[in-house]
Homo-oligomer: A and B are copies of this chain.
Amino acid sequence: MLKVIAQDFIRHEFLETVRPLYQELVEKTRQEKECVSYHLFTDQKDPGYFIFIEEWPDRAALDAHCQTEHFRRLVPLIDSYQTREGTFLLMDAFSAAADS
């Protein structure tokens, strides 16, 4: 199982512009067969700071998500309103046992 945090930084004067784009991205992504979970949040201190918390079965499923029509259309459009490049973090569940 692959957990993902993706972060976007949007110019405040375009918050109303990106809102329906994020809404569509969330709706369409949740319809993807391999999407385990996909939730969007905003920082309580900064309404232009958007945080996705995602779960996918594996990296191939995440890569397939990034190739969907909705991702390829909506993400560059959202990014055109960003203050700086977004970040993403691929994570494994913590295990109390040592890996090595």
CB distance from A44 to the nearest CB of B (A): 5
Interface size on A, residues (CB 8 A): 30
Binds B, one of A66-74, A75-83, A84-92: A84-92
User: Would A42 and B5 be within 8 Å (CB), given that A22-B96, A96-B19, A98-B19 are in contact?
Assistant: no
With beta carbons under 8 angstroms apart, the residue of B15, B23, B40, B93 that contacts A41 is: B93
List chain A positions with a Cβ less than 8 A from chain B. Answer: 3, 5, 15-16, 19-20, 22-23, 26, 39-45, 47, 50-51, 53, 89-94, 96-99
Known: A39-B94, A44-B91, A44-B92. 5 other contacts (CB 8 A): A3-B39, A5-B51, A16-B98, A19-B98, A42-B92
